[in-house]
Amino acid sequence: MNRRVSWFSCGAASAVATKLSNPDEIVYCDTGSEDSDNHRFMLDCEDWFGKKITVIKSDQYQDTWDVWQKRKYISGIAGAPCTSALKIAPRLLFQRESDVHIFGYTADASDMVRAEALRQNWPALDVETPLINSGMTKAGCLAIIEAAGIKPPRVYAMGFPNANCIPCCKATSPAYWALVRKEFPQEFERMAKLSRELGARLARVDNQRVFIDEIPMDQETTKPLAPYCDFLCQLADIK
């Protein structure tokens, strides 16, 4: 029988996708660079799932900073090396050819594009996207998490759209980087210094690439996503 594997990312969407799917294995790729509260969320989700989460990690790199510094590349036309080193490489070592892979892509437009890109780039993978199939959005997933009595990772309340690494080098929005500067000033300064050293203009302002320390101090930040529950939440709860 094919093993059904849910790829848990410490975010609300992957948690709901896992709960809906009841997989054989729940796997988390530890990047070493996420907010500390994500670990608390993972433990809460284990209780919710009634299953332990398998944690896998790169045996070559400690965290995202280690990848960027050793490869002397942060993000650009060639993509983000941290994704391939810390998520894809460990996944390839763990997975089996016959696995069914469950991902928490939502029915939001940007996630649907990412899901389609995954299928095109990895055509051999047997991929399930239960949230897209159900029409479930990120806001709906947050509502389900809260209804289950689980506090979402604290970065959502700060205004971050996902519970990803801090910072996420793939972000180009000046509002995102302004939020990192506000909530995680040490990480912002470290990235500002490293990106200058490597010549990586990570933000885009008026369709021009700029260094993140060039973003105006009065730049507005991203805002918290409000949980929104419609009839789909009830269907998910019943299921």
Q: Which domains does the chain have, with CATH numbers?
A: 4-154+226-238 (3.40.50.620)
> Long-range CB contacts (< 8 A, 24+ apart) of 177-184?
177/202, 177/203, 177/212, 177/215, 177/219, 178/215, 178/219, 178/220, 178/221, 179/221, 179/222, 180/212, 181/212, 181/215, 182/221, 183/155, 183/158, 183/159
**pLDDT exceeds 70 at position 231:** no
* Residue (of 138, 82, 130) closest to 109 by Cα position: 138
Helix (H, G, I), strand (E, B) or coil at 39: helix
Mean pLDDT of the chain: 93
pLDDT, greater one: 46 or 78: 46
State pLDDT tens for residues 71-130: 999 998 778 999 999 999 999 999 999 999 999 999 999 999 999 999 999 999 999 999
**pLDDT exceeds 90 at position 225:** no
* Residue (of 126, 131, 120) closest to 18 by Cα position: 131
State pLDDT tens for residues 140-182: 999 999 999 999 999 999 999 999 999 999 999 999 999 999 9
pTM of the model: 0.91
